Copies of this chain bind each other. A is one copy, B any other.
Amino acid sequence: MATAYQSAEGETVQPGSNPLPSPYLLFLGDTTEPGYAKTAFGLRDWARDRCVGEYALPNAAVTTGLPRLGFADAVARGARGLVIGVANRGGVIPDAWITALEEALAAGLDIVSGMHSRLAEIPRLAAAANRHGRRLVDVRVPPDGIPVASGRRRTGQRLLTVGTDCALGKKYAALSIARALRVRGHAVTFRATGQTGIMIAGHGMPIDAVVADFVAGAAEMLSPDAPADHLDVIEGQGSLFHPAYAAVSLGLLHGSQPDLFVVCHQPGRREILGHPGCALPTIGDVIEQTTLLGRVTNPAIRCAGVSLNTASLSALDAEAVINDTAQRIGLPVADPIRGGEAFDRLLDACRI
């Protein structure tokens, strides 16, 4: 590994500081699987005041519950950006979408995408954007000049959400904790690391799109020096035990140098999503590994508690699993979306 790059010392650059064109219209394509519409649901739940409605192709079988609008209607209601609110297998935009996206550009909307493939590399879209004087905004393109991580301790406090797997509530946990602590009067910034989080926050770092040598450096950029009582709540990614994405998780952990972390888990999930036969780690495994590896950049790292995603459980079952887990782990456990006293106790633990 070369050591021949300049390291960041006291970076204050705010990545993704280009403002995103909102209010948004949420594009659902022809998606039939709600699991692929995470971005649209995330924006509805966390940036509803900036979403005028949704747009779907005839075959779509997913809805956010927001008004279904045509492009001209959406523009009349103030929309400035069409957000691609769905992922699709392979990350390639199908032709049926492109025709609709061309119409959106013609109607006066910019397009905002969080896919790995870039909008501007689709010739028909590039031509249409150029013709209509509109922007194609790829939030998953990292900023230039990301340095190799320095490992230098930064001022201020940091909390990172980590997980037993992907797609089980790390973003929602971070957003919930940030919002609730802000309500309590604390100085808190939500730090987005994924496309949906970036669209919600309006800024952030698409950490999984950064070249591997610079992942920890990108996490350092994302969460710069801050006043001693300020808390960055950093959106976690993947899992240290994920067969494909653990590299992202570890670089984010080292660069974030969190004082505290919250383990996110979905009760009942037994295998890594999309990897049958690959057993989920236990919450205890994640606490142990995160603490051990996190000490490389913050010797004082510790687990604040556990966030459970109990969306598929009854209120009674959710309470039971929350209480059981708290007793077993010996730390505060809550479902932030359910709130309540359990969440208050978790929030109490989310400050140094």
Query: Which A residues lie at the B interface, using CB under 8 A?
Result: 1-7, 36, 87-91, 116, 148-151, 166-167, 194-195, 207-213, 215-217, 237-238, 240-248, 250-251, 254, 272-275, 278, 289, 292-293, 296-297
B211→A211 contact, CB < 8 A: yes
Chain B min CB distance to A33 (Å): 10
B211→A4 contact, CB < 8 A: no
Chain B residue numbers with a CB within 8 Å of A36 are 4
- Complex CA gap A215/B212 in Å reads 7
Chain B min CB distance to A295 (Å): 9
A212→B251 contact, CB < 8 A: yes
Q: Which of A238, A289, A292 counts the most chain B CB atoms within 10 A?
A: A292
* Oligomeric state, in copies: 2
Chain B residue numbers with a CB within 8 Å of A166 are 1, 3
B217→A213 contact, CB < 8 A: no
Interface of A is mostly: loop
Contact pick for A212, options B87, B195, B211, CB 8 Å: B211
A213→B116 contact, CB < 8 A: yes
A247→B245 contact, CB < 8 A: no
- Complex CA gap A6/B289 in Å reads 29
Chain B residue numbers with a CB within 8 Å of A1 are 166-167, 194, 208, 237-238, 242, 245, 248
- Complex CA gap A128/B147 in Å reads 30
Nearest B residue (CB) for A194: B1
A4→B90 contact, CB < 8 A: yes
Chain B residue numbers with a CB within 8 Å of A89 are 4-6
Given contacts A3-B273, A5-B91, A166-B1, contact A213 B243 (CB under 8 A): no
Chain B residue numbers with a CB within 8 Å of A195 are 2
